[in-house]
Amino acid sequence: MTAASAPAFPFSALVGHDDMRTALLVNAVNPNIGGVLVRGEKGTAKSTAVRSLVRLLPDVEVVAGCPFSCDPRDPDRHCPAGPHDGAAPRSRPARLVELPVGASTDRVAGSLDVARALTEGERAFDPGLLAAAHRGVLYVDEVNLLADHLVDLLLDAAALGVNYVERDGVSVRHAARFLLIGTMNPEEGELRPQLLDRFGLSVEVRGSRDPAERAEVVRRRLAFEAGPAAFARAYESQDAAVRERIGRTRESLSRVALADRMVALIAGACAKLDVDGLRADIVCAKTAVALAALDGADEVREEHVRRAALLVLSHRRRRGPLEQPSLDEQELDRALGDEPPDDEPPPDGHGGGPAGGGNGRPSSVTRSAREDAGRPRERQPGTPPRSGRAGDDEAPFERDEPAPERTDEPLTGLRAVPLAVRGGGEGAAGRRAPGRTETGRAVGERPHEPGAGVALLPTLMAAAPHQRARERRGPGLALERADLRSPVLEGRRGTLLVFVVDASGSMAARRRMAAVKGAVLALLVDAYQRRDLVALIAARGTGAELVLPPTASVEVAAGRLREMRAGGRTPLRAGLDRARELVRAQRLRGDRRQPLVLLVTDGRANAGDPDPPDAARRAAVALRREGATLAVVDSEQGPVRLGMAAALAEAAGGAPLISLDALAAETRRVA
């Protein structure tokens, strides 16, 4: 839970990542800024930097014996362990508390010590991690994988500086002022925009592409592992200088002047960049002051405002669930200056999402129209088919020669249809279907395990039959540890959503793939809102490719979908078999999410087997036997249809059938 006594990698020995180090120092100087979120790919020293920083923080004076780390000069009058009148002070290093992803609410906030109350008859409060982190650092690695209600709890405590516990007959409040640091890999999923906004600063870190810099990282890491103590001594003086700088800056912070002109500059930039709310303005002002103090300046200058804005606004520019948070420096310079905004559309990632509208970006339909310029016009409904084959306007792709590949932009505006999974089960918390989770209402009990909650009534019922045999111990209720029970909770859980997309030549005809991609993007937005895990499989040519392994990052899935090319034959059986293998592999890894496979196809299986349609039907049946729910999106369009996707859904046990035409009709109806 706390920082180990072994030497940590020195903060001054970190190579590169200037923005991350600056953001950490700014929060060390003024924890009221609200913490920092460090986003970056794996292996970029995110955790190393956090653990290095805590060694540089000044020591704290605490009341001896107080589990809530009260300041002896200004003790918390609401401290559950108080009052502290005349208590002896002691000095200790700042504490690093690491919050595990699987922590419960009781473990984080604290709760009634039920085990102690039942076995010893003493009513006591069991402090949580927020109490341990008071006046120190609370570090959450992979914060994007933390349950939303825990993230809300952390950010509320960080903003208020107080932790309130009102449950299980306990009414407690105690101070909880700490430096909150979260790290995450965006490939594993994003935080909701509402939660992103609660982090004061955000930085993006990437591995250097400079060979010399990478070589220096390797040399320093190998030297540290060969002799941690000797390596730490080599940077001791530099770290001591940083430690002294943090303490000196804290003292000078109140003397830095923030002129009204700088406040107006900050407010104007936030308004021009269309940042929601006023939290960004306030945090930007605090950050600019801290940066000026770190530079030894007496007043905030424009350069401090610009540096602060880059740290404060980048994660607050996100508008849709499929967009990456970002801030273009040229756009920021225009907002800080007097230049009017360009008429050019914003770069990718700054506009509206695929399911939104009015975002300033050209629509997919407009782009498609431009791409079609100069191409031969395709057959319109009612004209004779090109192949002379009645009702089959994709006949050229049924011939032996390979169809040309193409990449279509997705249509926008399609709405997701409701999708349900079969049965109950267990899994990670989400919003797709009911099931056993770590939060929710109690539906049963199980033997108590350390760290788990205690179900009071089941515990008493388990102890009741043994009371006569325990009478010799004295009056009152006699309990043993074996009597304790924990609740079994039922809530809403997430789903493993596997998209199997038919990317064959028949899907490319008549720009059908654009509509397919639009429908899948709408479902990705729905998956994001329901906290699902998503995977993407493309079936084309002679086999199936796992385009995206299971991930919580629907942004990455959307990007892979946009890049997907269509052409060639239709190996539906291979796509369904690949989905079945994926579902089985996830189950072997311990993933308890219920799998939902969404097959997007026109049903024209024509590759890989002597009887491709029959092989596809058998593969669909085998997939359902694996425990997966199967749904089929029928992408067939035109006045005459073969109904092969409907036949496949029926053969697979009556799988739900969704029509692309119905999606478009629903979109027009609600528009």
- Number of residues that this document lists for the chain: 671
Say which residues have a Cβ less than 8 Å from residue 30's Cβ, sequence separation at least 6: 250, 253, 286, 289, 290
Question: Shortest CA distance to 176 belongs to which of 206, 135, 205?
Answer: 135
d(CA 3, CA 8): 9
d(CA 24, CA 12): 13
Report d(CA 121, CA 399) in Å as an integer: 82
What single DSSP character describes residue 341? P
- The one catalytic residue in 243, 250, 279, 618 is 279
Q: Cα separation of 547 and 520, whole Å?
A: 14
**CA distance linking residue 355 with residue 320, whole number of Å:** 8
Q: How far is the C-alpha of 476 from the C-alpha of 487, rounded, in Å?
A: 25
What are the b/e assignments for 464-492, b being 16+ CB within 10 Å?
eeeeeeeeeeeeeebbeeebbbbbebbbb
- Residue 279 bears catalytic tag: yes
- Give Cβ neighbours of residue 297 (< 8 Å, ≥ 6 apart): 256, 304
Identify the DSSP state of 501.
Answer: E
Strands 60-63 and 89-92, how do they pair? antiparallel
- Distance CA(35)–CA(162), nearest Å, equals 15
**Peptide linkage before 404 cis (omega within 30 of 0):** no
3-state helix, strand, coil in the chain (%, to 5): 40, 20, 40
* Amino acid code (one letter) for 92: R
User: Catalytic amino acids?
Assistant: 279
